[in-house]
Structure 1
Amino acid sequence: MPLGFIDNGRPPSPFPPEWASSWGQDQYGVWAALQIEGVEQVLRWVWPGIFLMGSPDDESERNDDEILHEVVISHGFWLADTACTQELWGKVMGDNLSGFMGDDQLPVDSVSWSDCQDFLRTVTDKFNGPKLQLPTESQWEYGCRAGTQKPFSFGDNITIAQVNYNGHFPYKDGAKVEMRWRSVAVKELPCNQWGLYQMHGNVMEWCADWYGEYPEGAKVDPEGSDSGEFRILRGGGWVGNGRFARSASRYRARPDDRSGNYGFRFSLV
């Protein structure tokens, strides 16, 4: 089956979704806004499709657990266009665990996978919102790649103007540059081709899956291992070397681990 979007001839999603305070379409695709306690979070509609997950053997600085395989995303889903902000976290949870503060548009940081689950449940239970969830690892990489197959959605390499990462350790033959030593506002740097901001760098983002080896062969809507010790994080973060910001790069931590580099974005199926 060729790579690309799946066209099954049916409406992709009930536009506008019931939860949307506003919605529309622009050069990146369809968007809808979810409003919680006066804070608006835009989500992007991600069409179903087929892509190559992982990295080819000749990708520089790859890890052995990035085995290239075909993945079918059989159903479209909504994905937040940014990592969860401190403003939104504060409205929902009534606190702020972040190490970096001073701007409510900074991503929330220092949150564990378990903290994220508390946030998602609270949106539904306390604020009568839609049932939010963390994206699966395959959904995350599909959104990060945004139809590309190079190491980054921006191409073969990245610059500090595109990605908030540790410029002291660039990817491949990239130039060494200063690093910011902190997170930046969630829309301070460019979005990818699907309108998703900072899938590379800034904060690492928790995914739903337990960490495990990739299965052999093509898979439909994989959800990772049934159990494990570690949950998946993606994106590299502000402190990570250039190689960790690659679309295929995988990281793992215990569900209750917190770090100034850990954040999240949510999805809605």
Structure 2
Amino acid sequence: MKSIIIMLMSCLVAVTVSAQGIIRRPAATKPKPTVRNPQSRGSSAVRPKPAQPKKADPINSLAEPLRSHLKKLVADMVLVEGGTYMMGNPDRDKNDEYAKDVPHEVTLSSFYICKYEVTEALWTAVMGSNPSDHKSGDNYPVEQVNWYDCQDFVEKLSELTGRHFRLPTEAEWEYAARGGQRSRGYRYSGSYNLDEIGWHVGNAHHYKREVGTKKPNELGLYDMTGNVSEWCQDKLDIEYYHHSPSINPQGPDRSTYKDNHCFRGGSFCDDDKYDELKVYTRNIGGMPPEEKYGHLGLRLAMSVN
């Protein structure tokens, strides 16, 4: 009987050990997820877009010497950062002739304007002929161009370059002449000393001079005072300053006299005793758009967009 009991206890121990062995068996290892190659076929990974090819500059397809003239022109365009300034004649009570140039606040968007007046060489390269009364040389400002001629010029220039060249508005012209955001409040464009920055009757002796030979203004612009006067885009209304928009004014719909347009800057014909050479002065008569003069040329502007 005793032996039977011993045998039964041995069997129980064996079963217990066997059960413990089953419980302690390690869990099955989870299979590692398959990592797909993003370059493999059928991958849902987002692929970077290929870089867009740079748009070709139409200037590069032009023949010489036109190509070189236009490349220089583009390089000479100066960015004028937009801002707010007081446009008009602060000394209007001292000169009845310019009493309509009442100071008023103007805010402008950024734009480009050329360092130099348009030269005989540039005009000839674009238009095929030189209209100047005094054909003085490649680096002299073109003149004897009327407002309509200037429109034809900027239209052709825009087609050749793929850029939007134009005449500056009167508000843009004055802002740039004053030095934009860098203005130091000079009477003339870049100085209180007229001889330092401009060609006028006292030092030019009634002849135009090479562009860029005087000191530039705060923005690096040359001859904004003197040398040749410069056409603006606007028509001229002597009352316009009293009701013009305060943001990006484009000029009046009608002129006070016929269809006269603005011109600015004074010229080698003007005397420093008068106000034509000052940055804030506009000629109250303007100029008929079909008329040409030997002291009147242009400077190019360009929209940022």
Q: Give the TM-score band, short-chain normalised.
A: 0.7 to 0.9
Tell me if structure 2 keeps the 8 A contact 1:124–1:131.
yes
Change (3 A) 1:115 1:201: same
Matched, 1:191 2:225: no
Which of the numbers 196, 220, 225 marks the counterpart of 2:247?
220
User: Following TM superposition, by how much is the alpha carbon of 1:123 offset from its aligned partner in structure 2, in angstroms?
Assistant: 1.3
Matched, 1:142 2:175: yes
Change (3 A) 1:134 1:218: closer
Partner of 1:68: 103
- Deviations along 1:16-73, one digit per CA (max 9) or x if unpaired, are x99698xxxxxxxxxxxxx953211111000010111011136754711211111101
Runs of 5+ consecutive residues of structure 2 not aligned to the other structure: 1-54, 60-64
SS at match of 1:245: coil
CA distance in 1, matches of 2:277, 2:265: 5
Letter in 2 for 1:95: S
SS at match of 1:79: strand
Matched, 1:151 2:177: no
Tell me if structure 1 keeps the 8 A contact 2:244–2:251.
no
Partner of 1:238: 268
Tell me if structure 2 keeps the 8 A contact 1:69–1:218.
no
Q: Give the structure with the higher percent helix.
A: 2
Letter in 1 for 2:253: D
Which of the numbers 264, 271, 290 marks the counterpart of 1:256?
290
Q: Give the structure with the higher percent strand.
A: 1
CA distance in 1, matches of 2:171, 2:136: 33
Which of the numbers 224, 229, 232 marks the counterpart of 1:207?
232
SS at match of 1:219: coil
Change (3 A) 1:241 1:188: same
SS at match of 1:260: coil
CA distance in 1, matches of 2:185, 2:57: 33
Runs of 5+ consecutive residues of structure 1 not aligned to the other structure: 1-16, 22-34, 168-177
Partner of 1:9: none
Partner of 2:299: 265
- TM-score, normalisation: structure 1: 0.78
User: Following TM superposition, by how much is the alpha carbon of 1:216 offset from its aligned partner in structure 2, in angstroms?
Assistant: 4.2
Change (3 A) 1:198 1:124: same
Matched, 1:165 2:200: yes
Tell me if structure 2 keeps the 8 A contact 1:53–1:71.
yes
User: Following TM superposition, by how much is the alpha carbon of 1:157 offset from its aligned partner in structure 2, in angstroms?
Assistant: 4.5
Matched, 1:114 2:141: no
Tell me if structure 2 keeps the 8 A contact 1:231–1:254.
yes
Identity within the alignment, %:
29
SS at match of 2:201: coil
How many residue pairs align between the two structures?
Answer: 227
User: Following TM superposition, by how much is the alpha carbon of 1:181 offset from its aligned partner in structure 2, in angstroms?
Assistant: 1.6
- Deviations along 1:102-152, one digit per CA (max 9) or x if unpaired, are 320001011101000010111123x24312110000000000000233422
Tell me if structure 1 keeps the 8 A contact 2:92–2:102.
no
Partner of 1:37: 67
SS at match of 1:220: coil
- TM-score, normalisation: structure 2: 0.69
User: Following TM superposition, by how much is the alpha carbon of 1:227 offset from its aligned partner in structure 2, in angstroms?
Assistant: 2.5
- Deviations along 1:69-113, one digit per CA (max 9) or x if unpaired, are 11101x211101111011100000000010122320001011101
The more displaced of 60-69 and 234-243 is 60-69
- Deviations along 1:150-178, one digit per CA (max 9) or x if unpaired, are 4223344522x4211122xxxxxxxxxx5
Letter in 2 for 1:223: Q
CA distance in 2, matches of 1:128, 1:20: 6
CA distance in 2, matches of 1:238, 1:196: 17
